[in-house]
């Protein structure tokens, strides 16, 4: 396959419902003339998401980054927050924007998540919270992290941007932690064009979150904190309501593509496919592979060879957050402290995966990798 004779295969494509199904929602908005400020569509999506995800409270946001910023504000943190270097920039940026110091801890190379066994060694008298990431939707060691937090008096905020609809031992992964933050960006398994949410466990916390995302406004004449504008618009919320009608079918198609990749790549030497996790119902948000030194090409060379054939994989996550200029001088960012994260960041390649990906496209991607494996 080449770019000239076939359409490119991108790492992801957004799931979109039929356009005609969206028009009645827009007509309702036009009739109501309510465009924002937590209107009826916004409230309906919060209720329906809470029911679908099996969680007590959902607070919608205009994007996941503002949700992360507000989650940290909600808990009145200070000092240091332990987190992973293997994530998207918003994870660490939200800590820095709250005038907190991120402390990086190495990852478990089997799950790509923060290594819970190393967290305790990173705790100091300045530590106030832990912010793990459910990377690629793979659950963190939530039981060990929860036990450490309880024993050491720390708060836990999960960056669950990848974890929509993931279940662990039969219940939502979002139950864990003081707060969990979702992203509804266009690239996610459930999207509202742009959007995000905070999952919390009680009405009082939900009220504080809602106040913080609306400039700190309590009522018409009272502003009691310096909040931001994180509200989701009615158009985005309406799109989310419609997306919920289709998300189960989209998740099923993603899981089918995941299984096909695993089957076709199982015998390719030098390509490591992460194991299927027990007691986890995945959302197949991403399909990461590790390109081992035994493969004929380096990860970067394979990445470029695939691009030449119109297959746009992604080195996700690379570089590490700890290697970015605003973090690299932190003591915890030293490469010798993060050997597993450093190795994985130089081997990982996320292959194309999306809900309407055809079997032939998966076969094309795998065949291109097999050709390189035989060189």
Same domain, 157 and 238: yes
pLDDT score, position 375: 83
Residue 349 lies in a domain: yes
d(Cα 142, Cα 158) in Å, to the nearest integer? 10
Interhelix angle 299-308/359-373, nearest 10 degrees: 130
Distances, alpha carbon 265 to alpha carbons 45, 74, 105, 135, 365, in Å: 39, 44, 31, 21, 10
Same domain, 261 and 124: no
Residue 362 lies in a domain: yes
Domain hosting residue 195, numbered range? 19-242
Q: What angle do CA 38, 44, 50 make, to 5 degrees?
A: 110
Residue 3 lies in a domain: no
Residue 236 lies in a domain: yes
Alpha helices for 98-233 (secondary structure H): 119-122, 142-152, 203-212
Q: What angle do CA 77, 80, 86 make, to 5 degrees?
A: 110
- pLDDT 10s digits, 16-43: 999 999 999 999 999 999 999 999 999 9
pLDDT score, position 4: 40
Q: What angle do CA 352, 316, 69 make, to 5 degrees?
A: 120
pLDDT score, position 350: 98
Same domain, 227 and 280: no
Same domain, 84 and 133: yes
Q: Tell me, rounded to whole angstroms, the distance of Cα 111 from its chain centroid.
A: 14
Q: Which 3-state string (H, E, C) describes 1-12?
A: CCCCCCCCEECC
> Which residues face 61 on adjacent strands?
196
Which residue is it, tokens 């396959």? 1
pLDDT score, position 3: 40
- Which of 223, 242, 261 is a domain's end point? 242
Q: Provide the token pair at 201.
A: 């466990």
Same domain, 120 and 206: yes
- Which of 242, 274, 291 is a domain's end point? 242
* Tally of domains in the chain: 2
CATH of the domain at 186: 3.40.640.10
Residue 13 lies in a domain: no
Q: What are the two backbone dihedrals, phi and then psi, of residue 199, each rounded to the nearest 5 degrees?
A: -100, 125
Residue 177 lies in a domain: yes
Same domain, 274 and 163: no
Same domain, 255 and 236: no
pLDDT score, position 7: 85
Contacts of 128 (CB under 8 A, 6+ apart): 77, 78, 79, 80, 81, 100, 154, 155
C-alpha radius of gyration, the chain, whole number = 21
> What pTM does this model have?
0.96
Same domain, 251 and 234: no
Residue 11 lies in a domain: no
pLDDT score, position 6: 65
Same domain, 287 and 340: yes
- Which of 202, 221, 242 is a domain's end point? 242
Residue 223 lies in a domain: yes
Same domain, 211 and 314: no
Residue ranges of the chain whose pLDDT lies below 70: 1-6
Same domain, 309 and 220: no
pLDDT score, position 2: 40
Q: Tell me, rounded to whole angstroms, the distance of Cα 373 from its chain centroid.
A: 31
Same domain, 75 and 158: yes
CATH of the domain at 253: 3.90.1150.10
């Amino acid at each position: 396959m080449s770019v000239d004779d076939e359409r490119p295969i991108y790492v992801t494509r957004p799931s979109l419902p039929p356009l005609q199904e969206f028009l009645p929602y827009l007509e309702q908005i036009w009739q109501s003339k309510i465009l924002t400020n937590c209107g009826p569509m916004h409230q309906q999506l919060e209720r329906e998401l809470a029911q679908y995800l099996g969680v007590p409270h959902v607070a919608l946001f205009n994007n996941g980054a503002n949700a992360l910023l507000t989650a940290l504000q909600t808990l009145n943190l200070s000092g240091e927050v332990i987190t992973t270097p293997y994530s998207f920039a918003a994870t660490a940026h939200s800590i820095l924007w709250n005038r907190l110091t991120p402390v990086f801890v190495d990852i478990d190379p089997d799950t790509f998540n923060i290594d819970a066994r190393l967290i305790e060694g990173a705790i100091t008298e300045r530590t106030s919270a832990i912010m793990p990431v459910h990377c690629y939707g793979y659950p963190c060691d939530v039981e060990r992290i929860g036990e450490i937090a309880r024993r050491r008096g720390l708060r836990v905020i999960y960056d669950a941007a990848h974890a929509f609809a993931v279940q662990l031992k039969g219940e939502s992964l979002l139950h864990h932690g003081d707060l969990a933050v979702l992203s509804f960006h266009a690239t996610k398994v459930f999207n509202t064009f742009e959007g995000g949410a905070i999952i919390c466990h009680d009405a009082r916390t939900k009220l504080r979150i809602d106040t913080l995302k609306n400039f700190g406004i309590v009522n018409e004449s009272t502003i009691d904190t310096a909040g931001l504008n994180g509200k989701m618009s009615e158009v985005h919320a309406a799109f989310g309501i419609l997306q919920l009608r289709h998300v189960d079918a989209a998740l099923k198609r993603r899981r089918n593509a995941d299984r096909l990749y695993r089957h076709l790549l199982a015998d390719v030497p030098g390509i490591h496919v992460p194991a299927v996790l027990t007691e986890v119902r995945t959302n197949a948000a991403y399909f990461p592979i590790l390109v081992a030194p035994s493969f004929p090409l380096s990860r970067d060379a394979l990445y470029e060879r695939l691009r030449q054939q119109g297959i746009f994989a992604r080195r996700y996550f690379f570089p590490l957050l700890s290697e970015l200029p605003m973090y690299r001088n932190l003591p915890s960012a030293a490469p010798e402290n993060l050997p597993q994260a450093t190795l994985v960041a130089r081997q990982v390649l996320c292959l194309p995966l999306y809900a309407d990906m055809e079997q032939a496209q998966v076969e094309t991607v795998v065949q291109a990798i097999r050709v390189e494996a035989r060189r």
